[in-house]
Amino acid sequence: MGVRKFHSVEEMPGPALLPRLDPENLRIAFGLASLAHGLGPARRKCGVRKFRSCQVHIHSVCLTALVGVVSSLGCRKPYASPSSMSSTSTSRQAMVDGALGGEPTISRIDPLCHERPRCSIADRRPAGSPGASDVVVVRLAAPTDAATDEDRCDRREYWLSRPTGELLLAVDCEEQWGADNAGPASLTVAGTLATFHYVEFLSNDACEIVDASVRLPQGRIEAHTRRLGRVVDNVCRPSRKGAFIPGPGSGTLHHPLLVLHRP
């Protein structure tokens, strides 16, 4: 059999059509619908995940297995309105995200959530003297019906919580979905210095690395570098060529102090 090349998926031929008015078509349609229903609730995520303890890991594995078993049994639920189905999906996703992150889901009325859904606290680290200020990582889970790579981003916000007011230090994605989209950053807090290391993979085997340090609790940028590079063996190798560094933001919800991903 020969090899055929296509410029895009749209050019690829679809499956052969079934005979018209064949009663067997209805059985096949119901079988495919049942298969889609069984596979739909389980949301798989690639990459490596860290757990705070063995108990959290066991809870996560058991919860995922339970969802898969219930789906495979082909359970049928009574008809529900679109609004109730949406609320059920949101609560189930919040429960899964809470188990995976090792933290309970917090209320949407939490000040750092700004009344946004699927919001939880992923991490909290003290900065400087105890009780003076904290770096809080807020996680906004992607919707279960996300269709594009940008929508699949589990957004993470790094807030500086201090008596004088909250300051948004940076924003990233828990993992990168597709080239040229936002990727994950690593955060290190040593005393009163918060250090960010960010890597983003671009098109054509290019990449970008951002290293920045912020003095806490003042929120003053101590160092900020951005370098371009090439991807070699799945690793971003930086070059000596620097890249344009956007100016600092105001630290509000839509204008973080550090710009890691450049739209």
Match 């600092």 to its residue by tokens: 248
Q: Residue 69 pLDDT more than 80?
A: no
More confident residue, 204 or 83: 204
pLDDT the model gives residue 220: 95
Q: Residue 79 pLDDT more than 60?
A: no
Residues 166-178 have pLDDT tens digits of: 999 999 999 999 9
Average pLDDT of the residues in 205-215: 95
H or E, element range at 37: helix 23-39
Q: Residue 239 pLDDT more than 60?
A: yes
pLDDT the model gives residue 55: 54
Sheet holding 206-215, edge to edge: 185-190, 193-201, 206-215, 220-232, 235-242
Residues 135-148 have pLDDT tens digits of: 999 999 999 999 99
**DSSP character string of 72-114:** HTT-------HHHHHHHHHHHHHHHHHHHHTSPBPPTTSTTTT
> pTM above the 0.85 mark?
no
Q: Residue 259 pLDDT more than 60?
A: yes
Residue 75: pLDDT band by 50, 70, 90 thresholds?
very low
Lowest-pLDDT range of 100-104, 116-120, 123-127: 100-104
Report the percentage of the chain scoring pLDDT > 90: 49
Neighbour-count burial of 180, counting CB atoms closer than 10 A to its CB (0-12 exposed, 13-18 middle, 19+ buried): middle
Cis peptide bond N-terminal to 217, omega within 30: yes
Task: Note whether 93 and 118 are within 8 A (CB).
Answer: yes
Q: Residue 92 pLDDT more than 50?
A: no
Domain parsing of the chain, residue ranges? 50-72+84-105, 108-263
Q: Residue 91 pLDDT more than 80?
A: no
Q: What is the rounded CA–CA span in Å between residue 80 and residue 82?
A: 7
Task: Note whether 119 and 139 are within 8 A (CB).
Answer: yes
Q: CA 83 → CA 79, 87, 182, 222, distances in Å?
A: 12, 6, 31, 48
Task: Note whether 134 and 126 are within 8 A (CB).
Answer: yes
Structure tokens at 55: 């108990």
